[in-house]
Chains A and B, each alone.
Chain A
Amino acid sequence: LAKTTQPISMDSYEGQEVNITCSHNNIATNDYITWYQQFPSQGPRFIIQGYKTKVTNEVASLFIPADRKSSTLSLPRVSLSDTAVYYCLVGDANTGFQKLVFGTGTRLLVSP
């Protein structure tokens, strides 16, 4: 199972762009990269998923370099409500993402 490493915490201010980088050096060919957001006392919420290059949706962008050993979640113009823990996970789509392992996550604090 590919292990991920993220910064423990990050601080930002409202309106700024936040980039959270995740390292996954032993990612396998069939692995996809998925990011989740978790608020206190709630289950993780799916943000974005990608395999290579760049993926963008209405809330975030995901940048994946050619070697796929890292990925960067980009949150444009964060607000106070983006204060949460963000998890980067790597999993094998061929097994239906069996046994996803959560790392420590990145605790993002957005201040006024």
Chain B
Amino acid sequence: GAVVSQHPSWVICKSGTSVKIECRSLDFQATTMFWYRQFPKQSLMLMATSNEGSKATYEQGVEKDKFLINHASLTLSTLTVTSAHPEDSSFYICSARGGGALNSPLHFGNGTRLTVT
């Protein structure tokens, strides 16, 4: 089945630094990928939609200059958390549609645990 891979699975960084998270579709092409954030004991919250070859669209309340998204190829989208602060510590998850039929379901990566110290 469709596989979405995220890297790294966890990262610890110091406040003020930037962190890049990669999301790859391993066996299919994804013109659109989605980025979510999940805080402990809470549901996933959609942050932005990543579109190959064009600008990402962000959900209300998500700072586009804070969370930079690049979708330079059909198999890779990256999320960069710029000038990270402790409140950015969270679980970040990407997803992509599995390809093929229009109703192919979304498949999710295994997430990236970001801890900002």
Contact = CB atoms under 8 A, between A and B. Distances in A.
Contact of B46 (A45, A87, A99, A104): A99
B34 A43 contact: no
B106 to A, nearest CB: 5
Given A43-B6, A98-B49, A49 B44 contact: no
Interface stretch (B12-20, B67-75, B80-88, B109-117): B109-117
Interface residues of A, number: 25
B interface majority secondary structure: strand
B32 A96 contact: yes
Given A51-B103, A87-B44, A100-B95, 20 more contacts: A34-B105, A34-B106, A43-B95, A43-B110, A43-B111, A44-B93, A45-B108, A46-B106, A46-B108, A49-B103, A87-B43, A91-B106, A93-B102, A93-B103, A94-B102, A97-B97, A97-B105, A100-B34, A101-B46, A103-B43
